[in-house]
Amino acid sequence: MKFSKNRKKQIEGIDFDKIFSVEEGLKLIKERKFVKFDESIDVALNTTINTKQSDQNVRGSFVPPHGLGKKVEIAVFATGKNAEEATALGVKHVGGDDLVTILEKNIDVDVIIATPDMMSIVSKMAKILGPKGMMPNPKTGTVTNDVKTTITNINKGLVAYKNDKAGTIHASVGRISFDDVKLSENITSFVEEVKKNKPTNVKGNYINSVYISSSMGIGIKVSV
């Protein structure tokens, strides 16, 4: 495999067989940053779940203690008081059938919330939202009657996560400009959150390994 000049500099001198502490991993990532924008810091957990078993799939959401450091655009399917509260909180799009028409043309939001009574309308977009991982779901807290609290949590940095087909769970937990203490606490809290969500049918070891990386950076194996 051919590496670019920047990639060669990133990997130079790193022992990829070593398991680093979170602090050591963050230091390496920051030292080898080469892009100008404020990259996200991502965590990937390799688990032992069998994704072919529906009761072993992992899905949930949590709010990291120090947020994510970015503005999140939200769309809300709701009527009445919930719609009024969403509008008052500055949500980009609020509505019903009219919102389906808007989003079918251009999904310009990061998260979609719906009240349970609006899911029949949202389901019209299932083939579009499903593959993008944006379909509202009770397990991630995006199907709710408490729209106000959910919007507030998302604005604080709500992270929705689920495993992929290989059993890996990914999440962004902050920006590279965060200080190391905040990033470390966000990373640790995410790992602990996923541990709490261990499927009951998974016996023995659950999380095989944890890697951290930046948007354009290398993956560093860490011990949490």
Give the three-class secondary structure for 71. Answer: coil
Scored b (16 or more CB within 10 A) or e, 142-166 reads bbbeebeebbebbbebbbbbbbeee
Measured CA to CA, the distance from residue 72 to residue 68 in angstroms comes to 9
The tens digit of pLDDT for each residue in 187-222 reads 999 999 999 999 999 988 999 999 999 998 889 999
pLDDT score, position 70: 79
The residues with which 94 forms a beta bridge, in sequence order, are: 76
Query: Which tokens belong to 123?
Result: 């389901």
Residue 4: which H helix or E strand, with range?
A: none
The tens digit of pLDDT for each residue in 164-174 reads 999 999 999 99
Residue labelled with tokens 């919330």: 113
Query: Which tokens belong to 196?
Result: 């709490």
The tens digit of pLDDT for each residue in 97-123 reads 999 999 999 999 989 999 999 999 999
Judge whether 188 and 224 are in contact, CB under 8 Å.
yes
- Complete domains list, the chain, with CATH: 11-67+159-223 (3.30.190.20), 74-156 (3.40.50.790)
The residues with which 207 forms a beta bridge, in sequence order, are: 47
The residue-averaged pLDDT of 133-141 equals 89
pLDDT at 6 over 80: no
